[in-house]
Structure 1
Amino acid sequence: MKYQIRLDVNYDYAAAVSDARHILRVRPREDAGQSVETVKTTVEPRPDEIAPEHDFFDNRVDAVAFFSPHTALAVRMQATVTIDRPAPPLSETPSLAALTEAAAASRAVDAASPIHHLGASRRIADMPAIATYASAILGSRSRASGEAVLALNRQIHEDFAYAPGTTDVATTIEDAFAARRGVCQDFAQVMIAGLRACGVPARYVSGFLRTDPPEGQPRLEGADAMHAWVEAWLGERCGWVGFDPTNAVVAGNDHIVVALGRDYDDAQPIAGAFITAGGQRTRHRADVMPID
């Protein structure tokens, strides 16, 4: 499936920003099952410095800096991406016992290694209540790990209400878990915390969802903005597999990956620091349209 993607992110500042540095993670990745045909990022006002690079997790990054006063910032990304992501053989994945043993024994240190996604990170710390919740759903240690992770994915969708506006980027997983409501970012980080607590490597994914669903299929939640879901490591043969707890589905040809990391902080679309006074207003829109 080929898509034309457009992302617009706009910031309006109450007072002029005199100096700013930002990291942009808005360009889709070249990854398994995903190829980028064209991609263009534009930033207004024009940055005084711009440096395209890749971070540790091999995300495509634009580092930009501004040294002149400005009262607004606009970031636009346009890309053409082809997705061919076959359904993973979840029933053929290793048992939970075998998977967690293999993950714990891993000594690889490259960006795709499961070892980076087993322990606590800045936003995802150990939480006994989430560990107990996830363990009960994953079930027997002899169960196929892929089927167990899918069960947790579906149960979070069942137990948590999708309620935009009830949380923000500062909401902790403890608060989201207690409230049983939030948005894709909250559900993804709760699921990651539960999987890691049970010894299953899990990482955060930022990306896009198809805006216009195929005829007869429901529209996925979170399609109007950048989306977030989870990838779990299911052994050497299956590798990393995406699970979307917001929509209770395995990530497939409707999901376009932009950035990966231990949690939101590693994959957030726009990060950085700037000097100003007063607040800011943000507008964010994404369109993902099939073109074949």
Structure 2
Amino acid sequence: MIGRNGSARRYRVQHRTTYCYSDDVTSSYGRAYLTPREFPGQRLLSHDIHVDPLPSDRSIGTDVYGNTSSYFHVTAEHRKLVVTGESLVEVDKPERLTAGPARQPWEDARPTGATGPLAVEFALDLRPPEITPEVTAYAAESLTPGRSLLDAVTELNTRIHADFTYRSGSTTVSTKVADVFAEREGVCQDFARIGVACLRSHGLAARYVSGYLATDPPPGKERMVGADATHAWSAVWVPGEAGHDRTGRWIGFDPTNDQFADERYVTVAWGRDYADVPPLRGIIYTDARESTITVSVDVAPVEV
């Protein structure tokens, strides 16, 4: 397991979403995944979500994957809605994988009801399907017979980074993996979904992870508040030691930046796909013909 090793980093995260409408909104229902998770390697020290106008009803719940979701209902008429999540999070530096199941052949990491009952679901394709013959063939170039899981995922991560161009605005949250393959461009959410689909195409368990990445400014430059953005990456399941652990562990990897997730990554939620854990979704009642959305994210390091 990932544990504290003296290299923890602490961050203050502010995630603000502003909706503006051309006419009054009489009712707005929202569901947010803005609460960072707690697990070995990440601790949530404080958290709050502010909604303006003030909701008439709100609640907090936990979904099937253990993510925290926040529900709110605004009944006051408004033309602007602002939802702000504020968190203080501490993240440990992961331990190096020098031995163990991650260094074994990738074929041995396919989950079963006996070795990884909670991981089996993450090896299944979505509905509608995302795994195409092209996805399977692309993944096979890295998942060669007998290769270690860690080596295979490392190469796949690098290939996605090299073969696909990051282009903001080139896709939407509903863009299919097959379309991203055809255009060879997208954003972090798309590349995370490609990584997930590739691993699932060969029976491995993979999940979609949403959160934040703390970015360092260029030398001599100050950090720009709001310059950070929501981020997404993939995670592959690694079985536990034979006969001892049926839970296993998950290793995050980031095709957008060609690296494995480390102490700079703040995890908010995970699921089988983006649709399981969008930062915000909702329903509004309005006659407005136009609307805009602005998202500002700031991940500021804090002295531990």
Say if 1:254 and 1:200 are closer, same or farther in 2 by CA, change over 3 A: same
Is 1:127 matched with 2:132? yes
Aligned residue among 222, 228, 232 for 1:228: 232
Unaligned runs of 5+ in 2: 1-8, 242-247
2:130–2:178 contact (8 Å) kept in structure 1? no
- How far is the alpha carbon of 1:98 from its aligned partner? 1.1
- The alignment of Structure 1 onto Structure 2 pairs a total of residues equal to 282
Aligned with 2:17: secondary structure? strand
Residue-by-residue CA offset, 1:157-209 (whole Å, 9 max, x unaligned): 01111111111212111111111111000101111111101111000000001
Aligned residue among 176, 179, 188 for 2:180: 176
Say if 1:189 and 1:280 are closer, same or farther in 2 by CA, change over 3 A: same
User: 1:164: which partner in 2?
Assistant: 168
Greater Cα radius of gyration, structure 1 or 2: 2
Residue-by-residue CA offset, 1:241-271 (whole Å, 9 max, x unaligned): 1000000000000100001000001111001
Superposed, which structure 2 residues align to 1:101-250 within 5 Å? 103-106=111-114, 113-122=118-127, 125-140=130-145, 142-212=146-216, 224-237=228-241, 239-250=249-260
Aligned residue among 70, 79, 85 for 1:77: 85
Say if 1:215 and 1:58 are closer, same or farther in 2 by CA, change over 3 A: farther
User: 1:4: which partner in 2?
Assistant: 12
C-alpha separation in 1, matches of 2:227 and 2:187: 12
Say if 1:88 and 1:119 are closer, same or farther in 2 by CA, change over 3 A: farther
Per the normalisation by structure 2, the TM-score is: 0.87
Per the normalisation by structure 1, the TM-score is: 0.90
Q: Name which of structure 1's ranges 243-252 and 88-97 shifts more when overlaid on structure 2.
A: 88-97
The amino acid across from 1:186 in the alignment is: D
- How far is the alpha carbon of 1:272 from its aligned partner? 2.1
1:24–1:269 contact (8 Å) kept in structure 2? yes
Say if 1:21 and 1:229 are closer, same or farther in 2 by CA, change over 3 A: same
Say if 1:223 and 1:250 are closer, same or farther in 2 by CA, change over 3 A: farther
The amino acid across from 1:288 in the alignment is: V
The amino acid across from 1:203 in the alignment is: R
C-alpha separation in 2, matches of 1:177 and 1:61: 32
- How far is the alpha carbon of 1:108 from its aligned partner? 6.1
Aligned with 2:171: secondary structure? coil
Is 1:62 matched with 2:65? no
Say if 1:201 and 1:223 are closer, same or farther in 2 by CA, change over 3 A: farther
Which structure features the higher share of helix residues?
1
Percentage of identical aligned residues: 34
Is 1:271 matched with 2:281? yes
Aligned residue among 42, 52, 55 for 1:47: 55
Q: Name which of structure 1's ranges 15-24 and 30-39 shifts more when overlaid on structure 2.
A: 15-24
User: 2:294: which partner in 1?
Assistant: 283
Say if 1:47 and 1:286 are closer, same or farther in 2 by CA, change over 3 A: same
Q: Name which of structure 1's ranges 250-259 and 147-156 shifts more when overlaid on structure 2.
A: 147-156
Residue-by-residue CA offset, 1:61-81 (whole Å, 9 max, x unaligned): 111112332212111111111
1:106–1:115 contact (8 Å) kept in structure 2? no
Cα RMSD of the aligned pairs, angstroms, is 2.2
C-alpha separation in 1, matches of 2:263 and 2:129: 28
Unaligned runs of 5+ in 1: none
C-alpha separation in 1, matches of 2:88 and 2:186: 30
